[in-house]
Amino acid sequence: MHLKESIYRDQTIRLAHGNGGRLMRELIEQVFAKHLKNELLDINTDAAYLPFDVALGDIMMTTDGFTVEPLEFPGGNIGSLAVHGTVNDLAVSGAKPLYLTLNAFIEEGFEISVLDRIVASLARACVECGVKVVAGDTKILRRGQGGGVYLATTGMGQRLTKQIIGLHRIQVGDMLLLSGTAGDHGTAVLLAREQFGLMGSLKSDAASVLPITEALMEIDGLRFMRDPTRGGVATIAHEISQAVRQSVRLYEARIPYNQQTKVVCDLLGYDPLYMACEGRVLAVVAPECAEIAVLKLHALGYVDARVVGQIELGRAHAFIETELGGERILQELEDDPLPRIC
């Protein structure tokens, strides 16, 4: 039976697509399994068998949820974002991502053609990142109870390095390195909402950071890595300062920005340091390794990678040294200036 002869006959999701019967089976087979099929995905079982070589390293796990609005934006959609977000949480923890589970919460009335497009994008991102979706679940929400589609994922990977990284390893004098321009994802999603009459060619930075983390893990002086998603670079700076009970200084003149991101944020009163990134790494490295780390990333094509700050002796707070030589406190984020960006 062809897709248009079955699942597409209604064109939109019905509550019956979640009742466990024929329509639900068709939805799973003809949308999800069609795009995500692999040798480990068996839609007729309740659990997946995962071949791990435990001798290689520890197994690591993460979980995440995605509610981005709009569902499709320049540079990706909620499907590819779900893969990149989950893969990146594993990568910055020192793991090689291998397996994902996927839960889809779909609103009644949602267009099946859009769902097919989202799942196809999710599948392409899996191939690019070298991961497989091995299990999943589908739930249908009543009309008006969801934002079209929400996705929830669990990711599993294997830590292939003996180097322990974490906030507890950070020392006074260590340097902060940012792998690329700040705030592009949040700003691209903001533009895609078309609320302010602004247009541009800015794309989300959503991508796997695994090449970045693998390069950084070759450096003995690597202390810590994080992908600055919700809350952006400024929020990670605060997290570091609170963890080590010291000051974090960022250098305004060194932070790389896409010009469109800077212009849009200036016009609308947003600070790009608080805007989400979905394909960047903020790393802390020993001072003697900072230049080596930057050169490594430049050689891989991450030409905007720079040292953007330093850990200093002082009270636990984050601040930025302005281009004019002054200092400005970076306040901790409380109200969400831009909800549903990831």
Every domain of the chain and the residues it spans: 3-159, 167-329
Q: What number of other Cβ atoms are within 10 A of residue 1's Cβ?
A: 9
pLDDT at 3: 45
Coil, strand or helix at 21: coil
pLDDT of residue 1: 39
Amino acid at 144: G
167-329 CATH: 3.90.650.10
List Cβ<8 Å contacts ≥24 apart for 234-237: 234/271, 234/273, 234/274, 234/318, 234/330, 234/333, 235/274, 235/332, 235/333, 236/282, 237/176, 237/309, 237/318, 237/330
Which one, of 309, 329, 91, lies nearest residue 182 by Cα?
A: 309
Spatial neighbors of 22 by CB under 8 A, at least 6 apart, are none
Question: Tokens 């097919």, residue?
Answer: 116
pLDDT of residue 4: 47
The DSSP bridge partners found for residue 310 are 175, 249
Fold of 3-159: 60s Ribosomal Protein L30; Chain: A; (3.30.1330)
Residue in the block written with tokens 């693998």: 214
For residue 193, count CB atoms less than 10 angstroms from its CB and return exposed for 0-12, middle for 13-18, buried for 19 or more.
Answer: middle
Report residues of the chain scoring pLDDT below 70: 1-9, 336-337
pLDDT at residue 200, as a whole number: 78
Q: How many residues does the chain have?
A: 342
For residue 84 the two structure tokens come to 């990149």
Say whether 167-329 and 3-159 share the same fold. no
What pLDDT is stored for residue 153 in this prediction? 98
